[in-house]
Amino acid sequence: MTGDAILQPMLAMMVLTALVWFWLYAVRIPAMRTANRPVQSYTTPETGTLQLPEEANYPSNNFKNLFELPVIFYALCLYLYATGSAAQVDVFAAWAFFLFRALHSVIHCTVNIVMARFATYALAALALWLMLGRAILNAWF
């Protein structure tokens, strides 16, 4: 395995983020048209949330969520790549992180079942913390 393998799940996360961005606008713009309110009435995220059906806000909420833990994921993948310390277990954990985040996004943007969403979020986080723990141990010991 080459160190480049750690970059592939990172790229996959970027693609997921782009897909959610497109999904956000595919859902929100029609909802705004249906609401038939002046565009200027959506000056803040909060006003949009109040004026649109709850389901129209799911992709927007998920998009914001993709800039929380994934930021650590991106930095960690780059760190592992730059230091050449990415092992097979890190690549596996990175793909697990991506897969659970992708499933989380599908749940969050559609049916939004909170416990299912939480479970996928927690499993993704565990994969990330495994990667981080390994990086710390490799750097300090």
Q: What is the pLDDT of residue 1?
A: 56
Q: Spell out the residues 6+ positions from residue 100 whose beta carbon is closer than 8 angstroms to its own.
A: 120, 121, 123, 124, 127
pLDDT truncated to tens, each residue of the chain (141 aa)?
Answer: 567 999 999 999 999 999 999 999 999 999 999 999 998 988 988 888 899 999 999 999 999 999 999 999 999 999 999 999 999 999 999 999 999 999 999 999 999 999 999 999 999 999 999 999 999 999 998
Q: How many angstroms separate the CA atoms of 42 and 49, rounded?
A: 9
Q: 3-class DSSP state for residue 71?
A: helix
- The 8-class DSSP code of residue 67 comes to T
Q: What is the pLDDT of residue 45?
A: 85
- Domain ranges in the chain? 3-140
Q: How far is CA 95 from each of CA 26, 52, 123, rounded to the nearest angstrom?
A: 27, 35, 12
Q: pTM of the full predicted structure?
A: 0.93
Q: What is the pLDDT of residue 48?
A: 84
Q: What's the CATH code, domain 3-140?
A: 1.20.120.550
Q: How many angstroms separate the CA atoms of 48 and 29, rounded?
A: 11
CB 89 within 8 A of CB 134: yes
CB 76 within 8 A of CB 131: yes
Q: What is the pLDDT of residue 72?
A: 98
